[in-house]
Amino acid sequence: MKKLFLAIAVLSVTAVSTVNAQTKFLRFGLKGGANLGKLDGQGYKDGFKLGYHLGGFAQVNLSKGFGVQGELIFSSSTVKTTDNFNEVINPDNLNDPSNNDKKIKLNYLSIPLLANISLGSPRVKLQVGPQFSALVSDKNVIKGADEAFKGGDVSGVAGLWLQLPIINISARYIVGFTDVKGVNTVTDRGNWKNQSIQLGVGVTL
């Protein structure tokens, strides 16, 4: 009987150790927070406008100091046009007649693929990598947004990730590489490129 209890104890410790090792190797979680975005290009006001982002992530910790992280993020940002917007596209094409400020809201579904590099501690990580985004919906946006705005965007991401036992905190800067201006309906007046600052808080499951 003692041998049986001993065997069960050994198996239990082994199982717990295996689960802990797997938990450290692969982690999942949820995150959300503020999205400060702007669109660089003629016809748009400079300065970041407040929005939000929500999503989930998966971390694979390949070694003590390095891992990779993939995310699926929905982000919403608002941009405001300037008085010379009509030099780029007819401002009457903004859908909502009550939209006196001529604001345009763009919603993206994004997939960042990031390298996690520990900065002297496994809890503090530098994150860098590409982000691939798709325009999924629009509100108070130019009619024919599928033509005025390209459906996809490729960006670069750099930021910091603080991994607490349950809570995680992140701050990152995202700069667009792609001209998101459609070529069919918009006068060629330079590039339109997304930029954003994301400040997030999440839960590691």
N- to C-terminal Cα distance for the chain?
Answer: 38
The fraction of the chain above a pLDDT of 90, given in percent, is 45
> Residue 50 corresponds to which tokens in the numbers above?
């407040």
For the stretch 47-90, pLDDT in tens is: 888 999 999 999 999 988 899 999 999 999 888 877 767 666 66
Instruction: List 30's β-bridge partners, or say none.
Output: 56, 203
> Residue 115 corresponds to which tokens in the numbers above?
């390298």
Class of domain 24-92+100-178+191-204: mainly beta
CA angle 176, 182, 187 (to 5 degrees): 110
DSSP codes of every residue in 89-152: S-GGGBS-TT-TT-EEEEEEEEEEEEEEEEEEETTEEEEEEEEEEEEEEEES-BTTHHHHB-SE
Q: Which residue has the higher pLDDT, 133 or 182?
A: 133
SS3 state of residue 86: helix
Q: What is the pLDDT of residue 187?
A: 59
Domain spans of the chain, in order of start = 24-92+100-178+191-204
Across the range 86-96, mean pLDDT stands at 66
Q: What is the pLDDT of residue 188?
A: 61
Across the range 35-39, mean pLDDT stands at 89
Q: If you compute the radius of gyration of the chain from its CA atoms, what whole number of angstroms results?
A: 22
Task: Name the pTM for this structure.
Answer: 0.77
Burial of 70 (0-12, 13-18, 19+ CB in 10 A): middle
For the stretch 123-159, pLDDT in tens is: 999 999 999 999 887 666 666 555 667 778 899 999 9
The overall average pLDDT reported for the chain is 80
